[in-house]
Amino acid sequence: MDVTTDASAPWLVAGLGNPGPEYAANRHNVGFMVADLLADRMGARFKRHGKAQAQVVEGRIGPPGPAGRRVILAKPMSFMNVSGGPVTALADFYKVPLANIVAVHDELDIDYGVLRLKLGGGDNGHNGLKSMTKALGREYHRVRFGIGRPPGRMQVADFVLRDFASAERKELDYFVDRAADAVEALVIEGLERAQSAYNS
């Protein structure tokens, strides 16, 4: 897949999560939460894509006119561990260069609510990223949303598949809003400016 990009190329923002109401409020689904907010800002609703196992929204981010960026928001409906297939299918369908793909995902090794934006890197044990990297290569953007480590001896799998704690939920809307802002900044202004504004 082509890594180089140009200003007219579309962006693909993939919020990672698991489909189904039983997973909707899990920590592992924060990528879906950010994608849903971005869709709300575009005034659009997700629809099932005919060629990929995903729900998508097509729209623009940024000011009206040529300064705005064409963006496809996606929520893979394949379950987290096999996210790479739907994302690759969408990238091929919309002709999105690898450098214009953004994964929005939960991150265990960052404190709750803290954001980190980066290009490339490892998967750090995250199965959604592992699947994407296997399908695409490493050089896509990541917006990493900190969820912290599990308390005590709780298993990681149990922790990420639980809903945010009541204390966390008090600030969740604010942090999801900030993550959506970070995605918009990344698409419009580029990685360095977005990192300086949102990497805390």
Count the Cβ atoms, other than its own, within 10 Å of residue 151.
8
Cβ atoms 182, 117 nearer than 8 A: yes
Q: Which amino acid is it at 117?
A: L
What whole-number distance in Å separates Cα of residue 175 and Cα of residue 146?
10
What whole-number distance in Å separates Cα of residue 103 and Cα of residue 67?
23
**Residue whose C-alpha is closest to residue 7's, from 190, 199, 192:** 190
Task: Report phi then psi at 75, rounded to 5.
Answer: -125, 105
**How much of the chain is in helix, strand and coil states, percent to nearest 5?**
40, 20, 35
Residues 28, 49, 126, 141: which is the catalytic one?
Answer: 28
What whole-number distance in Å separates Cα of residue 101 and Cα of residue 137?
11
49 annotated active-site: no
Question: What 3-state DSSP class applies to 129?
Answer: helix
Q: Among all residues, which ones are annotated catalytic? A: 28
